[in-house]
Amino acid sequence: MRRSVVALVAVAVALAGCSSGGSGADDAEVQVDTDDFAIDQDFPDPDVLATGDRYYAFATNGAGFNVQAAVSTDLESWETLAVDVLPELPDWASPGKTWAPEVTEVAPGDFVMYFTAANKSPALQCIGVATATNPEGPFTPVGTGPIVCPPDEGGAIDAATFVDDDGTRYLLWKNDGNCCGLDTWLQIAPLSADGTAIVGETTKLLMQDQDWEGNLIEAPTLVKRDGVYTLLYSANDYGGDAYATGYATAPSALGPFTKADGPLLTTEISAGRYLGPGGQDVVTAPDGTDVLVFPSWDSLFIQRGVNVVPLEWDEGKPTVVLP
């Protein structure tokens, strides 16, 4: 659904309520179109998998499903699937907080999903693993417990995967430190060839240390472009328009990473078009160019729909091409 609105960014801040930071925008009236979504429903934390001639998007629980899914052939027109691709949670997990799924194809017809769920004991958000032979599921949980669940760091959320040039497969995540007054670190560890187990040491990559990030960073997305390892991430309170996307670069997947001087995409940078743009993924389009896939709030801060915008690179540094 497309709804053009005349909005004050200042009004959006008031509607955000739970936002932990102000927009800093002035009160000048601007014409914005906040509700023109590629996926026009509540579809937070989208991860996009390219397999065959299709793209599959997976999202946080909603519409009565543990994991939502949608399919596209061009990244522009999407069909949401009327099926829960993760119909059963593992015994260690409680329903209701199945967040930020990440799906990767480790071999032809062999799909692995990493999902955040509410661990029963200790009562923290942790990351589990499930497998399937079809991207439309059903995915079946594997193992007797989470793959990542550090109790002394507040648990773990927001899994992401990366495969390096030498074939090494990695899992990235954020320790959920903001749940309990701790720092939030983006972390990385090598995975087994089948993607179902961590097989090496964990390396801490980045933590929140810039004003615009508020008290947390999360949602890692690691890619390699122009010979540079680029780590995109989100920061601040996802519940309002202070949520934003940043990036850092490094000479290797394990760092050291250097943050950009400021965020990549914010409500202000988009002139109010995208309210709280974060929770991103980087996807290669059919024409070989990259796009940034991310959710943002609608004009009433009721749901987060999905946006797809071009992404350009210069020596590993991304630039969002705004409409």
Compute the half-sphere exposure of residue 144: CA atoms within 13 Å on the CB side of its CA.
0
Q: 27 catalytic, yes or no?
A: no
Indicate which residue of 158, 218, 237, 298 is catalytic.
218
Domain ranges of the chain: 5-320
Could you tell me the sign of the dihedral formed by the alpha carbons of 13, 14, 15, 21, in that order? Answer: positive
Indicate which residue of 35, 42, 45, 213 is catalytic.
45
Compute the half-sphere exposure of residue 157: CA atoms within 13 Å on the CB side of its CA.
24
pLDDT exceeds cutoff 50 at 288: yes
Compute the distance between CA of residue 183 and CA of residue 178 in angstroms, rounded to an integer: 7
Q: What six digits make up the tokens of 99?
A: 């967040």
- Which residues contact residue 184 at a Cβ distance below 8 angstroms, ignoring those fewer than 6 apart? 174, 175, 176, 177, 178, 207, 208, 215, 216, 217, 218
- Which residues contact residue 181 at a Cβ distance below 8 angstroms, ignoring those fewer than 6 apart? none
pLDDT, tens only, 71-99: 999 999 999 999 999 999 999 999 999 99
**What is the chain's mean pLDDT, rounded?**
92
Q: 211 catalytic, yes or no?
A: no
pLDDT exceeds cutoff 70 at 33: no
pLDDT, tens only, 218-228: 999 999 999 99
* Fold (topology level) of 5-320: Tachylectin-2; Chain A (2.115.10)
Average pLDDT over residues 38-54: 98
Place of tokens 């990259």: 290
